[in-house]
Amino acid sequence: MTLTCIMLALLFAGGSAWRAENHWQGSAKWLALIALALLATVFAVFVMSASNDFAQLQVLSRVSWIESFNIEYSIALDQLSIVLITLTWLLAIICVLVSWYEIQSNVGFYYFNLLLTIAGIIGVFVAVDMFLFFFFWEVMLLPMTAIIAIWGHENRQFAALKFFIFTQVSSLLMLVAIIGTGYFHLMQTGQLSFYYPDWLLLDIPLSISQYLMFGFFIAFAVKLPSVPVHSWLPDAHTQAPTAGSVLLAGVLLKTGAYGLIRFVIFLFPQASLQFAPIAATLAVVSIVYGAKMAFAQQDFKRLVAYSSISHMGFVMLALFAFNSTAYQGAIVTLVAHGLSSAALFSLAGMIYQRIHSRNLTDMGGFWQSAPRMGGFALAFAGAAFGLPGLANFIGEFFSLVGAFQVMPAFTIIAALGLIGSAIYGMVLFQTSFQGAAKQDIIDLQLRELLICGSLLLMLLAIGLYPTLLLKFSFGV
Amino acid sequence: MTSIPLFHVLILSSLLFVIGFIGVVARKNTLFMLMSLEVMLNAVGVAFIGAGSVWQQADGQVMFILILTLAAAEVAVGLALLIRMQKKYRSLDIDALNQMKG
Amino acid sequence: MNVLLASLPFYPFVSFLLLIFFGKRLSWRLAATISVSSMAISALVSAILLFELSVTKNQVMTANLWHWFELSYAMGSSDVNVRFYLDGLSAVMISVVTGVGFLIHLFAAIYMKSDVNFSRFMAYMNLFIVAMLILVLADNLVLLYLGWEGVGLCSFLLIGFWYQEQSNVLAARKAFIVTRIGDTSMAIGLLLLFNSFGQLNIEAVTLLAEQANSLSAGTNAESADNIYWIALLLLGGAVGKSAQLPLQTWLPDAMAGPTPVSALIHAATMVTAGVYLIARMHGIFLLAPEVMNYVAWLGALTLLLAGIAALAQTDIKRVLAYSTMSQIGYMMLALGAGAWTAGVFHLMTHAFFKALLFLTAGAVIYALHHQQNLFKMGGLLKKLPFESSLFIIGLICLMALPGTSGFFSKEAIIAQLWSSDTAGPMLWWCAILGALLTSIYSCRLFFLGFLGKARFNENVQLKKSSLLRTSLIILALLSLFGGLIPLDLTLVFSSVMNLPLAQLTEPTWLHTVAIITPFIGMVFSWFYFKSYRISHLAGKEHILQPNNGRFVVFCRQGLGFDGLYKKLFIMPYQWLAQINKNDIFDQIIMLNAWYVGLWHDALVLVQNGSLRWYLAAFGLAIMLLLGVSLL
């Protein structure tokens, strides 16, 4: 009940931010910030005070929705979704902070879209009725497309369209898989059902489940993204406004990983096991290819976007290793990448606001005029190339240790990604902050320090004391 | 009074129709196109009259009257558009009106 | 739990934090006091720890800071803690790191005084010490890896300290990426290690490896294979960090950093981390004698290569860089031959005299207004007598003249090579040849820089600071008498003692040859480098020019490795990045869009907006339809 209220409250807050901006200029961002902070607190209190520990999936509410198809409104929480929702709250607040001065037109509508996306994302993480899941999946997509298309950079329409078509086509396959599995439930038990716990009880023969799994897999692989269906990501990330990139890299990609865990691996364990070599190959190719592509980029945000592909490859590799170490590694990588890529995109936004360019060739020597920014850039680039002591290292190390036990050859190639990441990390940091000073820029202001500082602190905390995250068993 | 064979009537009607059609297609001036359109309508009318007299039924003549009214209405609208066109484009060239190009 | 041990890295860390956060607001005096005193405290604490360690019976001290994480594998799980482990070996390392580190900090505080970013410089130096201490104190390989990457990062920051120069930026990048290649090999080694033993704790791994070996006694081929690969992969990491073949190319370029950095990181401490790693993991290496043999050969080849390259250098710092490489080659050779204690001993003495050489070179470079070219020096013996005499001390230690610290350590290594299982006479000759080369390039350096006539016009500028001189004098004393420090690591390397001794008998002339080799080199140089010694030959042109023959230039550039790697790895990677800049996968997917667009264009042609065309098409279609239906 509380969760439903939180989502509705987000919607309401978005709507009122839209209205309020028309009457009092500058009120929308405050409204959004306060609403997010308040609702995040409510969520935290709700989870803390709950009697159970969410080790298993806890169904929180179940109401009939479309009775003729036995579709329900049912939501549930477990530790995995709690971790990801917490990450969503954090990054949502960061998103509002980075858009503070960046968004100048249609401000009210912008915050409406932002809050709607966040509501959709939270819905995705809690829905356990598959139809509802699909509904939220689409809810999350539309306002995001709007954010890219309206407030993005020069090529925004194209990027938004590409993002929309990729996601839409792939989610169509997922819809087919959802209906297929529901229909199979009808065949096996005589009743149509889209309820996830019901599906877990199904015993689907491998010959059918491999196709169903594949439908889900494609949808989530596009979202993750994995080579060869990754190419919406560089465009979308590059063209989106800063908050859009932060949200995309920080949380939206994680819905793909979340889907892989919950609806591919847990739902079709056998089919996934059979599929593992292909998935691992894709993962390894993503890691190496993403790192290589990142090196070739001239655009700050595009470089970070390709590095995301590389990092998500580690997640995929770990997930298809089927052991708890790798699984923990995948979760830590998700959170760590959420924080570090959000940080890098925020930095890109801050630089863009100062020099109105994302091109690395326009940058150089910023360290001289903006040492604080340089320090943060180095730390975040360090996180991206897996510097021990920061969260990403723990994630990657766990992923590799886990994966190595199952598929050493793949893991060794994946480890070569560490070299690639060092190369693009160095290129990113050195071309923008070292070298001769091309121009002087203003150093970080209080608001920006707050953003970077909090992200760095979280990265450090997880890196040095990963037990914070690892204590969750995630119900393997 | 010898009756004209239907075949001849149809030949005349077809000839008139084709002449009208060619006129519509070939002329660029909208006024001439409208006039050619009239020719085509009348060609159809001739065919109806001929057929009516062969079957000894009034339907053909009814249809012709319908066509006449239709033609009158069409010409009224067409000429009105023509005047607008002349005002807007200072020409009656139909090819100037290609705004609907895909 | 030993509080002193646990707190050891925190003194420089606190100083780092203070300098980073308040750096701009601190005066030089305050910033220097903070960073140097933090180092003084750590040096003091290590001295106390050293004393405590010698008193305790079991010769091991530990301090558990916090539980880092727990790794699970098929058979169970093992804890990875942030835990410090101090035994004889790490004690040597911490005393070198904090002791030499303190002296270099003292020197740097004065040397870098006028730099605008002084506090940032000292902050990096402090951070480096933190990372280095974590590296040597780590009780498990993950924590060691943390320190390992940490020193790499600091090295990167300090090489690129003057980042406005593009060449420094590139040198820093090269150093980081080349060492990262080694680090990745090491990381894979860790994965394999964990997979084989389910442990990453160094003690436990050593124990398990020995057990596995004694239990199976060679019958378990897979486990022996694993150990072979683990040792090889760890060697990859060591090779990268210690600038040995084939990952040696970054070290000469790393001289782009300020001179105290070269002294601290690229001579005394960080580059010896590879040696430390192998010594630390000796339990594994002992079980893989083939890899020990590789270690010895890599060391020997590097020491010869670096010696040859050093002969052709014109830059005083690059001579010292190659000499560092070659001396680390000696340490590797010692480790490969199983002369563990000798290798670590040489590590220590080398830290003393190489730090001395670099710092003195820094003082000389400063005095000559940042002139590093040897061919523009000359006659410094008269102009800078204090620095010159210290430099001479450093050089005689480097050449291992009898009585100096270098002599004790190098002789200890050479003495054990001949009869070693994993080395042998061949490598002994390499070592002797290396010693000969060392003495020749040392003499060349000395003749060029300090004898003859001055080949510069400006007046020398001097930093008259008693602190600076004190630090140099202490280092000089350590270099001269450091060989007398009793280094007893038998407890650390106890397992080594069980090895059967080789049957090879040593000829009696071995030691005589080893001792007189440097003198042969000196005599040779005296005549061969006569022109360098007296600046010009009678009747010839006054100006001394470096030999620019093709072979000399080839040697000067590190025997072509840079070019080779550029062709083999860098250019293909860049080429691959360039041709695929638009992402081939994206282009394939965008083919769909192109295809749809094609149809769009075709259909648009039909919609031309011309009424008469529509009509004509209409008529034509009707005729066609009629025709088809009639026929």
pLDDT, tens only, C133-147: 999 999 899 999 999
Specify which residues A68 forms β-bridges with: none
CA angle C272/C278/C280 to nearest 5° reads 100
Partners of residue A423 in chain C, C-beta under 8 Å: 177, 573
Contact between A389 and C150 under an 8 Å Cβ cutoff? The reply is yes
Binary contact (A382, C74; C-beta < 8 A): no
- Helix (H) and strand (E) counts for chain B? 3, 0
Q: What is the pLDDT of residues A268-307, one digit of tens each?
A: 888 989 999 999 999 999 999 999 989 888 899 999 999 9
Binary contact (C609, B24; C-beta < 8 A): no
Which pLDDT band holds residue C541 (cuts at 50, 70, 90)? low
What local confidence, expressed as pLDDT, does residue A458 receive? 93
CA distance C486 to C143: 29
Q: How far is CA B51 from CA A127, A282, A467, C484, C626, in A?
A: 73, 76, 97, 133, 20
Tokens of A200: 């877990």
Q: Which residue in this structure is represented by tokens 């390397």?
A: C493
Inform me whether the pLDDT recorded for C530 exceeds 60. yes
Q: Which of residues 430-459 of A touch C (CB under 8 A)?
A: 430, 433-437
Specify which residues B29 forms β-bridges with: B93
CA of A421 to nearest chain C CA: how many angstroms apart? 10
Binary contact (B95, C610; C-beta < 8 A): yes
* B9 within some domain: no
Q: Which residue in this structure is represented by tokens 């940032």?
A: C120
Q: Which of B95, B97, B101 sits opposite C607 (nearest CB)?
A: B101
DSSP reduced 3-state for C61: strand
Tokens of C611: 């009424």
Most confident of C442-446, C457-461, C498-502: C442-446
Please give the backbone phi and psi of residue C608, each rounded to the nearest 5 degrees, phi first.
-90, -5
Q: Which of residues 17-36 of B touch C (CB under 8 A)?
A: 21, 24-26, 28
Tokens of B100: 């609907």
CA of B98 to nearest chain C CA: how many angstroms apart? 4
- Long-range CB contacts for residues A60-68, cutoff 8 Å, separation at least 24: A60/A1, A60/A2, A60/A3, A60/A126, A61/A1, A61/A3, A61/A4, A65/A129, A65/A131, A65/A132, A66/A131
Total number of domains constituting chain B = 1
Tell which residue, C405, C203, C235, has the closest CA to residue C335.
C235
Mean pLDDT to the nearest integer, C303-310: 90
Q: What is the pLDDT of residues C420-440, one digit of tens each?
A: 777 778 888 888 899 999 999
CA distance A410 to C74: 19
DSSP reduced 3-state for C315: strand
Q: What is the pLDDT of residues A335-348, one digit of tens each?
A: 999 999 999 999 99
Contact between A309 and A233 under an 8 Å Cβ cutoff? The reply is yes
Contact between C97 and C133 under an 8 Å Cβ cutoff? The reply is yes
Q: How many CA atoms lie within 13 A of A357 on its CB side?
A: 12
Tokens of C383: 């102009």
B47 is in which domain, residue-wise?
28-93
DSSP reduced 3-state for B58: coil
* B54 within some domain: yes
CA of B97 to nearest chain C CA: how many angstroms apart? 7
* B61 within some domain: yes
Chain-centroid distance of CA A68 in Å reads 34
Percentage of chain B lying above the pLDDT 70 cut: 95
Contact between C70 and C80 under an 8 Å Cβ cutoff? The reply is yes
Burial of A346 per CB tally in 10 Å (0-12, 13-18, 19+): buried
> Which chains does chain A touch, 3 or more C-beta pairs < 8 A?
C
Q: Which residue in this structure is represented by tokens 């280094």?
A: C487
What local confidence, expressed as pLDDT, does residue A476 receive? 46
On whether any CB of chain C is under 8 Å from the CB of B15, the answer is no
Q: Which amino acid does the sequence have at A210?
A: Q
* B48 within some domain: yes
Helix, strand and coil percent figures for chain B, each rounded to 5: 80, 0, 20
Burial of A420 per CB tally in 10 Å (0-12, 13-18, 19+): buried
Which pLDDT band holds residue A475 (cuts at 50, 70, 90)? very low
DSSP reduced 3-state for A224: coil
Partners of residue C157 in chain A, C-beta under 8 Å: 378
CA distance C39 to C23: 17
Binary contact (C580, A437; C-beta < 8 A): no
On whether any CB of chain C is under 8 Å from the CB of A476, the answer is no
Interface test with B, best of C603, C608, C610 (most B CBs within 10 A): C610
Contact between A459 and A336 under an 8 Å Cβ cutoff? The reply is yes
CA of A167 to nearest chain C CA: how many angstroms apart? 14
**In sequence order, which residues have a C-beta less than 8 Å from that of residue A124 and are 6 or more positions away?**
A133, A136, A137, A140, A255, A258
Partners of residue C612 in chain B, C-beta under 8 Å: 24-26, 28, 94-95
Tell which residue, C424, C421, C498, C419, has the closest CA to residue C213.
C498
Binary contact (A467, C69; C-beta < 8 A): yes
Specify which residues A62 forms β-bridges with: A74
**In sequence order, which residues have a C-beta less than 8 Å from that of residue C164 and are 6 or more positions away?**
A365, A368, A434, A435, A436, A437
More confident residue, C578 or A148: A148
Cα torsion angle, C607, C612, C613, C617, sign: positive
Q: Which residue on chain B is closest to C605 by alpha carbon? A: B102
Q: Which amino acid does the sequence have at A129?
A: D
Q: Which residue on chain A is closest to C573 by alpha carbon? A: A292
Q: What is the pLDDT of residues A149-205, one digit of tens each?
A: 999 888 889 999 999 999 999 999 999 999 999 888 888 888 888 888 888 888 888
Predicted TM-score (pTM) of this structure = 0.88
On whether any CB of chain A is under 8 Å from the CB of C194, the answer is yes
Dihedral of the alpha carbons of C334, C339, C340, C344, in degrees to the nearest 10: -50
Eight-state DSSP code of residue C404: S
Contact between C223 and C288 under an 8 Å Cβ cutoff? The reply is no
Inform me whether the pLDDT recorded for A455 exceeds 90. yes
Binary contact (C67, A467; C-beta < 8 A): yes
Of all helices (H) and strands (E), which one includes residue C68? strand C61-73
Rounded mean pLDDT of chain C? 85
Q: Which of A325, A387, A412 sits opposite C72 (nearest CB)?
A: A325
Eight-state DSSP code of residue C138: B
What local confidence, expressed as pLDDT, does residue A312 receive? 93
Which pLDDT band holds residue C542 (cuts at 50, 70, 90)? low
Q: Which of C607, C611, C616 sits opposite B97 (nearest CB)?
A: C611
Chain-centroid distance of CA C291 in Å reads 20
Q: Which of C608, C609, C612 sits opposite B25 (nearest CB)?
A: C612
Rounded mean pLDDT of chain A? 89
* B6 within some domain: no
CA of C587 to nearest chain B CA: how many angstroms apart? 27
CA distance C255 to C252: 6
Mean pLDDT to the nearest integer, C321-347: 89
On whether any CB of chain C is under 8 Å from the CB of B7, the answer is no
Contact between A339 and A309 under an 8 Å Cβ cutoff? The reply is no
Partners of residue C72 in chain A, C-beta under 8 Å: 323-325
**What ipTM was assigned to the predicted interfaces of this complex?**
0.91
CA distance C180 to C178: 5
| DSSP assignment string, A58-111 | EEEEEEEEEGGGTEEEEEEE-HHHHHHHHHHHHHHHHHHHHTTTT--SSHHHHH
Inform me whether the pLDDT recorded for A396 exceeds 70. yes
On whether any CB of chain C is under 8 Å from the CB of A106, the answer is no
Q: Which of B94, B99, B100 sits opposite C612 (nearest CB)?
A: B94
Cα torsion angle, A266, A268, A270, A271, sign: negative
Specify which residues A77 forms β-bridges with: A58
Partners of residue C604 in chain B, C-beta under 8 Å: 101-102
- Helix (H) and strand (E) counts for chain A? 20, 2
* B7 within some domain: no
> Which chains does chain B touch, 3 or more C-beta pairs < 8 A?
C
- Return left, alpha or beta for A365; rule: phi > 0 is left, psi -120 to 50 is alpha, else beta: left
Inform me whether the pLDDT recorded for C502 exceeds 60. no
On whether any CB of chain A is under 8 Å from the CB of C25, the answer is no
| DSSP assignment string, A159-216 | HHHHHHHHHHHHHHHHHHHHHHHHHHHHHHHSS---BHHHHHT----HHHHHHHHHHH
Binary contact (B21, C619; C-beta < 8 A): yes
Burial of A238 per CB tally in 10 Å (0-12, 13-18, 19+): buried
| CATH classification of the domain holding B53 | 1.10.287.3510
Partners of residue C619 in chain B, C-beta under 8 Å: 21, 25
What local confidence, expressed as pLDDT, does residue A341 receive? 93
Cα torsion angle, C425, C429, C434, C439, sign: positive
* B5 within some domain: no
CA distance C409 to C399: 11
DSSP reduced 3-state for C73: strand
* B39 within some domain: yes
Buried b (16+ CB within 10 A) or exposed e, C452-467: bebbbeeeeeeeeeee
Partners of residue C69 in chain A, C-beta under 8 Å: 394, 398, 466-467, 470
Tokens of C145: 């890896």
Q: What is the pLDDT of residues A230-271, one digit of tens each?
A: 889 999 999 999 999 999 998 999 999 999 998 998 888 889
Q: Which amino acid does the sequence have at A388?
A: P
- Helix (H) and strand (E) counts for chain C? 29, 2
Q: Which residue on chain C is closest to A470 by alpha carbon? A: C69
Tell which residue, C230, C245, C448, C415, has the closest CA to residue C341.
C415
